[in-house]
A and B are shown apart, each in its own frame.
Chain A
Amino acid sequence: MASSFGAAMEALDRSSGSPEGFCRPFLDLFPVTGAAVSTVGNVLGSETLSASDEIAARLDELQFDLGEGPCWDAMRSGSPVLEPDLRGAAPRWPAFAAATREDGLRSIFAFPLAVGPLRIGAVDLYSLRAVELNRTQIRQADAMAGVVGRHVLRHALSAVGRELDDTGNAFSRRVVHQATGMVLAQLDLSPDDARLVIQGHAFATERTMMEVAQDIIDGRLRFSKQRDAIEATE
């Protein structure tokens, strides 16, 4: 089991540039019917990047239109959202439950795409049979969604490819390196991920990396790990 999780993580790493590869590793590892990866919300807008089948794609489209559903909850809370039986007592998402009744949807699970304090979307896993994910599976799916989140954000940032990255002069790069050090200590991340947090934050707040870095160094902006979620305090 551990090795197939390793293989899934590797497959996700290889799929870095191509969203088509995002869903397969989830289907290989978990007892679900289909998967979809979407960005949701303000940072990158709402868009399905990859879906394993038409139902998966439709489930995400519905959630965008209705403005409710597991992917919204996962994105907003930054934590996994688990619904093993949609036909259970009080539906959490009445409109979504009603709209998907005919599809025969039974279980749905959503895992946030998040990088540091930035929540950019979710991975939805659905099943036509009622299934449950155990604690290990939840942890694994969450970790896999984390990898997908970093790919998606990196890709989106390079697609807009602008002054956010390296165009500053050497002096500003130095400040960004110092801020990277502060963030990696605050969040216990690798230097690469810490840098991505700064870059993503700069993008989301429409500022340059240099400005964000300066705020971090001066203590005006700090990131902290609170339980499992990562918060930004300004």
Chain B
Amino acid sequence: MTELTKEARLLQTFAALADTLVDGYDVVDLLQLLVDSCAELLDTTAAAILLADGRGELDVVASTSEASHLVEVIQLSAEAGPCVECYRTGEVVQVPDIALSPPEWFRFRDRAIELGFASVHALPMRLRDNTIGTLNLLRDRTGTLEEEDRIAARAFADVATIGILHERSVRETTVLAEQLQGALSSRVVIEQAKGVVAYMNGVGIEEAFDLIRQYARSHQLGISKVAAGIVDRTLRLGG
């Protein structure tokens, strides 16, 4: 792929992201589009976004694969690993070789290596002094990200942050907490909806998520909205 093409595709992606930032947009949709764009356009194998809940615990709200092992490794890193380090310091954490990470990260290290991940790049989602979560890029090779990918990733993380914080209410910490909580609660409902669809349609959890996304796309509805309909049983996916 030539540099120009990639640049053009990055621009396209930002245009698409800007399109989603309309009134009443679905934060989970936006974050999903972001992680998918990271995996597609940047030199990375997998991407995930973690948000802090009211108690400062980090939770996965979007990931490129719903495969439980990716979610699990990110979550381990949110307990002791680059993700939580990045969240605490508000700084980028680069781990060019996971095998060489500090001993106290051993659970993350061992599981990540077992799953074929070799390096990680964690970026804070921060607005001034508020770090609300992290964008995490995992790669199956050692080394650091190229500078142009680092810049693009920074821009993705900023868009995600803005997307969550809507522009006007950033100064109000209670509103901030509510918006974060809102994004995390929609995640709970999405997980429940995956269970409902998995059972009703006789498919696996991962496939259930794909069905929900497809339905949301083809009906131009937010994922969270579709999930809520599935859980309160007013919406039933065909199949």
Contacts and interface: CB of A to CB of B under 8 A. Distances in A.
Interface string A178-195: 111111111010010000
A223 to B, nearest CB: 10
Contacts of B198: 178, 181-182, 217
A170 B195 contact: no
A185 B59 contact: no
Contacts of A173: 59
Interface string A147-187: 00000000000000000000001110111011111111110
Interface in B54-103: 57-60, 68, 71-72, 75-76, 78-79
Nearest to A190: B232
A178 B79 CA distance: 22
Interface residues of B, number: 25
B194 interface: yes
A181 B196 contact: yes
A177 B195 CA distance: 8
B11 interface: no
A205 B12 CA distance: 54
Contact of A180 (B59, B76, B195): B195
A170 B75 contact: yes
Contacts of B58: 170
Contact of A184 (B75, B79, B231): B231
B106 to A, nearest CB: 16
Interface stretch (B125-133, B144-152, B185-193): B185-193
A19 B198 CA distance: 38
B26 to A, nearest CB: 18
Interface in A34-89: none
Contact of B72 (A171, A183, A185): A171
Given A170-B58, A184-B231, A191-B231, A178 B75 contact: no
B17 interface: no
Contacts of B196: 181-182, 184-185
B111 to A, nearest CB: 11
Interface residues of A, number: 19
Contact of B191 (A174, A183, A185, A188): A174
Given A171-B71, A177-B192, A185 B60 contact: no
Contacts of B59: 170, 173
Residue in B76, B205, B233 whose Cβ sees the most chain A Cβ within 10 Å: B205
Given A170-B58, A170-B59, A170-B78, A178 B231 contact: no
A179 B199 CA distance: 10
B72 to A, nearest CB: 5
Residue in B57, B60, B72 whose Cβ sees the most chain A Cβ within 10 Å: B72
Given A170-B58, A191-B231, A181 B79 contact: no
A174 B67 CA distance: 12
Contacts of A178: 191-192, 194-195, 198, 205
B194 to A, nearest CB: 5
B71 A217 contact: no
Residue in A178, A184, A188 whose Cβ sees the most chain B Cβ within 10 Å: A178
30 contacts: A169-B75, A170-B58, A170-B59, A170-B78, A171-B60, A171-B68, A171-B71, A173-B59, A174-B60, A174-B71, A177-B195, A178-B191, A178-B192, A178-B194, A178-B195, A178-B205, A179-B195, A181-B193, A181-B196, A181-B198, A181-B231, A182-B196, A182-B199, A183-B195, A184-B196, A185-B195, A186-B199, A191-B231, A217-B195, A217-B205
Interface of B: 57-60, 68, 71-72, 75-76, 78-79, 188, 191-200, 205, 231, 233
Given A169-B75, A173-B59, A181-B197, 7 more contacts: A170-B57, A177-B191, A178-B195, A180-B192, A181-B196, A181-B198, A185-B195
